[in-house]
Amino acid sequence: MKVLLAMSGGVDSSAAAVVLRDDGHDVVGVTMRLWGGESDTGCCSVSDVDDARRVAQQVGIDHLVFNFSDDFDAHVVGPYVDAHVNGTTPNPCIECNRHLKFDRLIRRGRELGFDAVATGHHARIAPDGGSLRVMRGADRAKDQSYVVHMLSGADLGYVMFPVGGMQKSEVRELAARAGLRTAAKPDSQDVCFIGSTAGRGGFLGSRMDLHPADVVDASGRKLGTVDAVELVTLGQRRGLGLGGGDKRYVVDVSVAERRVTVGDEEMLHSQGVTLGDLSWPHAGDATAVQGATVLVQGSAHGERHEAVVEVPDGRSTGNHSAGSTVRLVWSRPQRRISPGQTVVLYDTTDTFVLGGGIVTDPR
């Protein structure tokens, strides 16, 4: 097959190039130029593009660069800023995967006549009757099914995850045997457009107004102030200027009222969480899992917690529906998840993706 491989300059996509080549595919590597601003972190630096190009030379495949910076700004950077303006905590890596690493790249791959698009994600695609579904990668510690949970239908039939069935140690060993320059390269951990010097505050401060806010307790008594309410996150404990004493956590953030409320850890707990902007890549819609017990993951490598799915009005909530919601009722109270964060649902074996959505109400 003729395969278009997304190469980020990391070891996973580098090893994927070797796997695909050795399996006899006609492979072309492509690096997506996404962020046009300054960057010294994440997966969009100039050195990463160079690493991808050099690895492609080592493996003996062609290498292309696609400039998707306008799409990245429209679908990732702009919404990231808007979310902070509105007091929510976004997950830009999810939106990058949704809109760029898959939707945009898949469309370009099809336009150019490729038979498949491949990436270095640690996830797997499994047949289920007459359909396909996303399942966790073989290496649970490196599993990335959370960030590709939205893939479904025809897209899953077009996507390949060559290293999804491998342990990370096997990936590095393969890259080392092939003599690839990325074999020992550390994994990227940071948001690519947030530089290490200016940080999140510097980045957002150059693109939006930041406002001070009062820090108050549950009774409304003022305890102090923060410089930028837009930078405060539910559950935050540090950076509030409250000094020592009892541990206090952010339990509510109101950008409109310029107020941050703090309390003890118990005040962070909730009985459930409400999700919007839903994706149901396998179930089709929420009614298929109405009343079902699921395992819920609220961050890329977070713990899973048991919950029951409730469709508030009993209506079907179609795939990628922005106007519908579901509620997850925890089997036992859990810490609230910040509005704007992505939650992914798995079956009770903790293997297969069922769906996901974005937190609209953490209570």
Q: Strand 2-6 to strand 116-118: parallel, antiparallel, or no bridges (unpaired)?
A: parallel
Q: Which of 248, 216, 234, 237 is nearest to 335 (CA)?
A: 234
Is 96 one of the annotated active-site residues of the chain? yes
CA dist., res. 250 & res. 243, Å (int) = 14
Q: Does the annotation count 192 as an active-site position?
A: yes
Q: How far apart are CA 278 and CA 358, in angstroms?
A: 7
Q: What phi and psi values does residue 327 have, to the nearest 5 degrees? A: -115, 135
Give 228-272 as a 3 state SS string: CHHHCCCCCCCCCCCCCCCCCEEEEEECCCCEEEEECHHHHEEEE
Q: Which ranges of the chain would DSSP assign to H, the alpha helix?
A: 11-22, 46-59, 69-72, 78-85, 92-96, 105-111, 153-158, 168-177, 199-205
List, by residue number, the catalytic residues. Answer: 96, 192
